[in-house]
Structure 1
Amino acid sequence: LSLSQVLFEENSWIRKVILNRPTKLNSLSFHMVSQMLKKLKEYEKDSRVKLVILKGNGRAFCAGGDCATLIHFCTTGHWSFGASFFRKQYTLDYVLATHDKTLVSLIDGVVMGGGAGLSMNAKFRVVTEKAVFAMPEAILGVFPDVGASYFLSKLPGYFGEYLGLTGARLDGAEMVACGLATHFVFSKDLPSLEKELDGVNSTDPTVVSKVINKFIEASSIKSTSAFKRMDIINKCFSRKTVEEILSALENEARNGANIWIAAAIKSMKAASPTSLKIFLKSIREGRGQDIDQCLIREFRMISHVMRKTVNNDFYKGCRAIFFDKDKQPRWELSKLELVSSELVNQYFTKVDDDDWEDLQLDARFSEANLIRAKL
């Protein structure tokens, strides 16, 4: 009997969406995304539903999209399989970001890539001491997507650039400090918190907030955390180009490096130069855009990646990490200076294919949107 990859629990006014591929760190399949999209749309229409809880079984919330399967389908079939997976995934991220019910993400473990797209758009994002956040896409030859150019660009200073360009990992305390998470709770207290949330019969976020606040713990970030050095982050990551960011970091490293600076340099040098450049342009555009504009733009970018119109780095990255596991991707353009701005701009243009359409997101007049419109 095949177990469901997503479980849906429904009681009176609470709905739970539980990712259930623990052996695969709950990585997202096409099937999971489709099921969640269908259910979340149903919950919106159901006036009985007051609260939706998102969580993952096992030691991860969700480690991202199932890239290995995606690449397999694209190489044995057609690139549009990948594009249709992302079309559905981005639509789901948008529905979550604009949902008119109160959403609570319980993050007790790994949350990366596509998992961030699911959880970062919830009003309440509860993390524990086991939480690990990262957007390591550039190491795979792709770029932080799923709305990352929106939610990372809203972090303090240039911390979003730092996370997206280096793929650096954050723990739960750091997630709360920088604003990616709203509350810190001990892992052992999550079952009790969930039990109390089951009793919330109100759409009022302050009621939910009061329940979560009973369980929150003070969390302090380590002295070695990069977030403690926002002065250096802003100085380096505010630069115009990836080359300038890297050389600013190398200058800092010469002035007596913090451990995190050396790690940042190392991971940027291992990442796809093309990925770094398209992400930097993406997050800079995202600063002035809404979530829907960011997702529509990222969909164009990811479609070019799937179609290999500009280069083949995503396929090369996946070969090195998932298939041959030699961790030695041979990037098509191996140096930053080989990646021209003309090449970068190609990722942001409409895909020239008869069967292809831009991502269509319906205008959703949820309370969230109306509140935003008033701000």
Structure 2
Amino acid sequence: MATKKWMDSENEQVLVEQHNCARTIVLNRPRQLNALSFKMVSRLLQLFLEFEEDSKAKLLIMKGKGRAFSAGGDVSAAAHLATEGHWSFAAKFFQVEYTLNYVMATYSKPQVSLLDGIVMGGGAGASMHGRFRVVTENTVFAMPETALGLFPDVGASHFLSRLPGFFGEYVGLTGVRLSGADLLACGLATHFVPSMKIPLLEEALHVADTSDPLVVNAIILKLSERIPLKDSSPYHRLDIINKCFSKRSVEEIMSALEEETLKGVNEWLSVTIESLKKASPLSLKLCLRLIREGRLQSIDQCLSREYRVVSHIMKSEHSSDFFEGCRAILFDKDRNPKWNPSKLELVSEEMVDDYLTKVNDEEWKDLELLPRPRATASSISKL
């Protein structure tokens, strides 16, 4: 089997291997749990565009080195850029990252993401938009941004809004951690393959001389297994999630959850309510608005709106919650952020509206996403 490593240095944050007609992209910041740096998202975008034009490259495989696929975007670096340089430097990171997400969501060749470990935030953006998302017993997924004063971005308003019922609102608002089995049940994953069989799957994909998704699917299915949900899985609570998280506002969602405690307090309810209480009130309202409206929007529309929101956040026009969240969670690590506004009722709908408007700055412009052949494709692929 012809194998060629294009880059194999610990100093390289993205490694590329050529296996016949397959190209394997390895995220290579294991000490940082493969958190996506500006250098990484720029290189990934370059590679995806190059491989799309390369007739010899028929299949892309993505994985992470170490115990994570990717624990997210390097938000601490973005925070430093915005505070020590200029806010537009941080916005540039998100511009490139969202463009990468869009290319992945509209890609003309199969992308197989091997999610054998931690997948959070930006890591979800680098995998959920691809056609095949393979999980294992080691997979841990979350979109924890509301606890950081940010919001589930990287196209999450598209892929979370398309989950069954109101499970997407639950996942986005609470930052709950999901297992591989949970992801398979709700549709965020396409296949479950035991971790010990991942090398066998890679070998089978390396010799596949095809871009036909049906053929790729058949290859993965040969090593796939059915995995039962644990009794503690939140997906077993879809009925109560639909009942509570379908409410019109975050305040009403909180009230509905607290009403459920009158019937008897359980661990799931307590953890869910506590997660919402700890999160940034502004982030919660931005998250709910984006997911609700994302149901009726295309992937490029979702990413464009998310870019407006994140640009306002980096500019710190109305609130500094993101920088306070970084201080409390990532820098000082006292885990005691002082949110402003401090309560849900202090976050008006007009304030949320402002985050969806264009940024009034001569250095800023809307996210420009060029039309692509698969631009109407859904990030939650159905075969």
The interval holding the TM-score normalised by the smaller chain is: over 0.9
CA deviation string 1:298-351 (max 9, x = no partner)? 000000000001110000000001111100110011110011111111110110
Partner in structure 1 of residue 173 of structure 2: 165
Contact 2:312 2:359 in 1 (8 A): yes
Which residue is 2:6 aligned to?
none
- CA shift at 1:2, angstroms? 5.7
- Is 1:239 the equivalent of 2:247? yes
Mapping of residues 215-364 of structure 1, within 5 Å = 215-364=223-372
The farther-off stretch of 251-260 and 33-42 is: 251-260
Which of 176, 196, 202 is matched with 1:194 structurally?
A: 202
1:127 equivalent in structure 2: 135
- Which residue is 1:93 aligned to? 101
1:210 positional shift: 1.0
Q: Residue 28 of structure 1 corresponds to which residue in structure 2?
A: 36
In structure 1, runs of 5+ residues without a counterpart are: none
Q: Which residues of structure 2 form unaligned runs of 5+?
A: 1-8
Q: Which of 65, 76, 79 lines up with 2:87 in the alignment?
A: 79
Q: Which residue, 117, 123, 129 being the options, matches 2:125?
A: 117
**Alpha-carbon distance change, 2 to 204 in structure 1, aligned in 2, over 3 angstroms:** closer
Match of 2:219 in 1: 211
Please provide the CA RMSD for this pair.
1.4
Residue number in structure 1 paired with 2:116 = 108
Q: CA deviation at 1:225?
A: 1.5
The alignment status of 1:8 with 2:16, answered yes or no, reads yes
Counterpart amino acid of residue 51 in structure 1:
L
Q: Is residue 156 of structure 1 aligned with residue 158 of structure 2?
A: no
Q: Is the 8 A contact 2:35 2:71 kept in 1?
A: yes
Supply the AA of the counterpart residue of 1:326.
D
Which deviates more, 167-176 or 208-217?
208-217
Structure 1: distance between partners of 2:74 and 2:363 = 24
**What is the CA–CA distance in structure 1 between the aligned matches of 2:44 and 2:375, rounded to whole Å?**
21
Instruction: Tell me by how many angstroms 1:11 deviates.
Output: 2.7
Q: Corresponding residue for 1:60?
A: 68
Q: Does the 8 Å contact 1:136/1:167 carry over to 2?
A: yes
**Aligned partners of 1:166 and 1:83: how far apart in 2?**
25
Alpha-carbon distance change, 160 to 252 in structure 1, aligned in 2, over 3 angstroms: same
SS in 1 for 2:152: coil
Residue 83 of structure 1 aligns to a residue in which SS? helix
Cα distance in 1 for partners of 2:285, 2:375 equals: 36
Please tell me the residue identity of whatever aligns with 1:219: I
Q: Note if contact 2:10-2:28 (Cα within 8 Å) is conserved in structure 1.
A: no
SS at match of 1:214: helix
Aligned residues of 1:224 and 1:259 also touching (Cα < 8 A):
no
Q: Which amino acid counterpart does residue 10 of structure 1 have in structure 2? A: Q
Instruction: State how far apart, in whole Å, the 2-side matches of 1:346 and 1:333 are.
Output: 15
User: Following superposition, which runs of at least 4 residues in structure 1 exceed 2 angstroms of deviation?
Assistant: 366-370
- Distance (Å, rounded) in 2 between the aligned partners of 1:270 and 1:144: 16
Give the structure 2 partner of residue 17 of structure 1.
Answer: 25
Give secondary structure in 1 for the equivalent of 2:365.
Answer: coil
> TM-score when scaled to structure 2?
0.95
Q: How far off its partner does 1:366 sit?
A: 3.6
How far the C-alpha of 1:277 sits from its partner, in A, is 0.3
Summarize the Cα distance change of 1:4–1:126 in structure 2 as closer, same or farther, 3 Å threshold. same
Mapped contact 2:20–2:207 kept (Cα < 8 A): no
Give 3-state SS (helix, strand or coil) of 2:126's partner: helix
Instruction: Report the CA distance between 1:47 and its aligned residue.
Output: 1.0
1:176–1:184 CA contact under 8 A, matched in 2: yes
CA offset at residue 12 of structure 1? Answer: 2.4
Does the 8 Å CA contact 2:298/2:376 hold for their aligned counterparts?
A: no
User: Any conservation in 1 of the 2:132–2:191 contact (CA below 8 Å)?
Assistant: yes
C-alpha deviation, 1:368, in angstroms = 6.7
Note the alpha carbon deviations across 1:251-280, whole angstroms, 9 max, x for none: 112212332221110010000000000110
Indicate if the aligned counterparts of 1:99 and 1:368 stay in contact, CA closer than 8 A: no
Q: Distance in 2 between matches of 1:257 and 1:154?
A: 30
Whichever residue aligns with residue 199 of structure 1, its letter is V
In 2: Cα distance, 1:12 partner to 1:215 partner: 21
Q: Is the 8 A contact 2:146 2:173 kept in 1?
A: yes
Moved more, 232-241 or 213-222: 213-222
Cα distance in structure 1, aligned partners of 2:266 and 2:112: 35
